[in-house]
Structure 1
Amino acid sequence: MPGEASCTAAPFAALSPGFERLSFEDVPGWQQDTVVDAFHAFARSAAHVETKPYRSGSLGIVLSAFAPAYTAARAMLDAPDADERAARAFFEDHFIPCRIRSEDGGPGFVTGYYEPEVEASRVKTGRFHVPLYRRPRDLVDVDDSNRPRDLDPYFAFARETDSGLVAYHDRGAIDRGALTGRGLELVWLDDRVDAYFIHVQGAARLRLQDGSVMRVTYAAKSGHYFTGAGKVLIELGELSPEAVTMQSIRAWFSENPDRIDEILWQNRSFIFFRETQVGDSELGPVAAAKVQLTPGRSIAVDRLLHTFGTPFFIDAPDLRAVDGGPLRRLMIAQDTGSAITGQARADLFIGSGFAAGEVAGGIRHKADFYALVPRTLLGG
């Protein structure tokens, strides 16, 4: 391809060999995408890092390399002409596209997520009886400095006891009452399946009984491994792999209400929440990158590998539910998730509410990933 070379051949590069340097002309659909919304998403991260920097990912796109782009983005927000033309010029001036393939050398993979919107109550009632919990005081962060020898290295959280740190209560134990009576209930829902999918998505917009709106977002988790309900249902022969979507899982639960615990308790991971500001109602919740997500322009990535704020152009030829045609658009890495692992893997934030959930639940598609790498890393 024109201008194609290894990114690691550039004089100042410290990137993983998995990056393949291209030009913007080599990126399918780059000229057809409207990138101004992606620019505004990027600019929100630029504003955030002024006070609290992001951690750099292990693939070599270090946060310091974004400094010129972040400075320019903040300046553009105050300019009257931050339009589509200026946004495209901004990305082309400050970045170089590099294809990044999956670890096996093939295309990447995308799924979708959304912000559920359901009714809720701040007090328990006959209808609203399913709690979302605050983070417990005995749930502590774990790293190499305090990890007991017998605690799985995967665990980033543990339970503090008089005799030391142990694995925290899992989903089954909590559902059976392990946290009852501790005043940890943040809000109450009327449906266990809705609560489960809020756990999966990590955030929710809640319509309270007094007419107000409340937003909750991830605060911590029990530490146990995540096991999706879809995977369990496949292994039990209840659903075929190609049939698994959020909608098909919900339908199965509706048809088998007496087996909900059997399936959900195989996912030992449990999420704790905190209330957050509603913020801009047109945007999604504040996520891992500490900015509100932009529908259709924010993605969740593997935080260990990638640096928040990195722009990715994603080409998913078979994904038509978002744009009505092949999905080819610029998105910004602003979230993460325990199921999002790998260098060419992303979860696309679709938006809030039922319609967004209908789209997000059906996204399971192969995609090509083009990371926009700061020119400061590649010698211009």
Structure 2
Amino acid sequence: MSSPEAASSLSGKARLEPLAFSDLDGWARDDHAAAFEAFRRSCQALDAQGPELRPAQKQQAGLIAICRKALSVGAPSGAEARRFFETHFQPFAVKPLSGDGFLTGYYEPEFEGSRTRDSRYTVPLLARPDNLVTIPQGETLSGLDPDLQAARRTAEGYEPYPDRAAIEDGALGSLAKPVVYLREPGEAFIIHVQGSARIRLTDGSVMRVAYAGRNGRPYTSIGRLLVQRGEMDLETMTLEKLMGWLKDHPEPARALMRQNLSYIFFREASELVEEDGPIGGAGIPLIPGRSLAVDRSLWAYGLPFWLDGRLPVTLDRTEPLQRLMIAQDTGSAIVGPARGDFYFGSGPEAGTRAGLLRHPVRFVVLQPKTSS
């Protein structure tokens, strides 16, 4: 049986159908040691009670107990890691009450930038303003639209935070403090969507920027808007084509990007070393191919998910996706019980593959056994 916590968060959205591990095509062929290492990373954060960057559903007591066991076994072989998951978890197919499972991809972009503004670098990424109040998951503030996830603190109380257009037009005043400057508005927009980046500075060093908050406004996909307008075809859209369009059509692009009311704030992530992935919603560095972004209003970080579908290699070629991943991140566009975002890694190649992934996928969640 699934846990009461899972049943409560999924009520009216999905049902969970129990499976055996033998029902999971490709299960025996996966690299369970790699999945275990990603799981251990989540467990270390849970054990340390580290703060989540974007709080999700509270972890079940059973998951925390399993994590303590994971931290005591060291680095298991693939076979040992597989037995660990099979011993302590029960797979459940996630069956949305409407729609099907759907997977997209994301990555950590790399762009050129400067700590100071000049004639070439004019587009800022802004630091989190002092008056931004993030509304905890599942809570609301009196007098505000319950769909808003942030507010502005004023002398009279709280009010909706300015949207993207207002912020770009100077609504933050002296609270708008740039972290770094980029060349193109489209580059900044892509970083807003991805939530992190590596910035190659003019002195040759690399700055890492990480998510520090958002204005709480709803997210709108500009790629979907371009498809609806007939500017691009969904089947042949790539990240490169999207960024090319934004660069070649500066005025229409500015208006288009402003239709996404959501605005992201950043900080310099100086604690990260080169080999670290960006910081995910769970507050830990992500692992390419093993970190999954999920709907944080429905799922807890640290839960393992088995994905079964196809991964694009090029526009015309896909490869099988049968892989155990760990919920370690979230995203404004990741909404629904069988909706995920696959972290590909850093740089242009990861970006190309991430931009191609928008495919149906079967989601299976591994829930802690009641007696493990």
Shift of 1:101: 1.9
Provide the C-alpha distance between the structure 2 equivalents of 1:312 and 1:66, rounded to a whole number of angstroms: 13
Shift of 1:240: 3.5
Shift of 1:180: 4.8
Q: 1:351 aligns with which of 323, 345, 357?
A: 345
Provide the C-alpha distance between the structure 1 equivalents of 2:368 and 2:56, rounded to a whole number of angstroms: 13
Q: 2:194 aligns with which of 201, 207, 222?
A: 201
Q: 1:229 to 1:56 in 2, by over 3 A?
A: closer
Q: 2:97 aligns with which of 93, 103, 107?
A: 103
Q: 1:122 aligns with which of 112, 115, 118?
A: 115
1:283–1:295 contact (8 Å) kept in structure 2: no
1:214–1:278 contact (8 Å) kept in structure 2: no
1:41–1:298 contact (8 Å) kept in structure 2: yes
What residue ranges of structure 2 are gaps of 5+ in the alignment? 8-13
Shift of 1:163: 3.1
List aligned pairs for 1:187-266, cutoff 5 A. Answer: 187-266=180-259
Pairwise CA RMSD = 2.3
Asked if 1:147 is matched to 2:141, the reply is yes
What SS class does the counterpart of residue 315 from structure 1 fall into?
strand
Shift of 1:174: 1.6
Provide the C-alpha distance between the structure 2 equivalents of 1:120 and 1:171, rounded to a whole number of angstroms: 21
Q: Give the stretch that moved more between structures: 88-97 or 253-262.
A: 253-262
What is the aligned partner in structure 2 of residue 70 from structure 1? Answer: 67
Asked if 1:57 is matched to 2:34, the reply is no
* Cα deviation code 1:265-292 (max 9, x no counterpart): 1111110011223534333111111111
2:238–2:352 contact (8 Å) kept in structure 1: no
Provide the C-alpha distance between the structure 2 equivalents of 1:164 and 1:274, rounded to a whole number of angstroms: 26
What is the aligned partner in structure 1 of residue 163 from structure 2? Answer: 170
What residue ranges of structure 1 are gaps of 5+ in the alignment? 1-6
Shift of 1:366: 0.3
2:312–2:353 contact (8 Å) kept in structure 1: no
Q: Give the stretch that moved more between structures: 325-334 or 87-96.
A: 87-96
Provide the C-alpha distance between the structure 2 equivalents of 1:366 and 1:113, rounded to a whole number of angstroms: 16
* Cα deviation code 1:136-186 (max 9, x no counterpart): 11212346887242x211112112223332222211122222235446111
Shift of 1:51: 2.4
Q: 1:336 to 1:146 in 2, by over 3 A?
A: closer
Provide the C-alpha distance between the structure 1 equivalents of 2:126 and 2:5, rounded to a whole number of angstroms: 43
* Cα deviation code 1:185-232 (max 9, x no counterpart): 111111111100000001111222222222111111111111111122
Shift of 1:14: 5.9
Q: Give the stretch that moved more between structures: 62-71 or 351-360.
A: 62-71
Q: 2:287 aligns with which of 294, 299, 305?
A: 294
TM-score normalized by structure 2? 0.90
What SS class does the counterpart of residue 49 from structure 1 fall into?
helix
What SS class does the counterpart of residue 227 from structure 1 fall into?
coil
1:309–1:334 contact (8 Å) kept in structure 2: yes
1:56–1:307 contact (8 Å) kept in structure 2: yes
* Cα deviation code 1:276-317 (max 9, x no counterpart): 23534333111111111000000100011111000001001x
Provide the C-alpha distance between the structure 2 equivalents of 1:13 and 1:63, rounded to a whole number of angstroms: 9
What SS class does the counterpart of residue 165 from structure 1 fall into?
strand
What is the aligned partner in structure 2 of residue 22 from structure 1? Answer: 19
Output the amino acid matched with 1:129.
T
* Cα deviation code 1:7-63 (max 9, x no counterpart): 35xxx76643711111111001101111212111110111111222776738xxx42
Provide the C-alpha distance between the structure 2 equivalents of 1:14 and 1:258, rounded to a whole number of angstroms: 48
Output the amino acid matched with 2:126.
Y
What is the aligned partner in structure 2 of residue 325 from structure 1? Answer: 319
What is the aligned partner in structure 2 of residue 160 from structure 1? Answer: 153
2:184–2:247 contact (8 Å) kept in structure 1: no
Shift of 1:349: 0.3
Provide the C-alpha distance between the structure 2 equivalents of 1:306 and 1:68, rounded to a whole number of angstroms: 17
Provide the C-alpha distance between the structure 1 equivalents of 2:176 and 2:92, rounded to a whole number of angstroms: 50
Q: 1:179 to 1:311 in 2, by over 3 A?
A: same
Asked if 1:314 is matched to 2:311, the reply is no
2:134–2:216 contact (8 Å) kept in structure 1: no
What is the aligned partner in structure 1 of residue 297 from structure 2? Answer: 304
Q: 2:328 aligns with which of 334, 338, 341?
A: 334
Q: 1:56 to 1:196 in 2, by over 3 A?
A: closer
- Name the % identity: 41
Alignment size in residue pairs? 360
Provide the C-alpha distance between the structure 2 equivalents of 1:300 and 1:56, rounded to a whole number of angstroms: 11
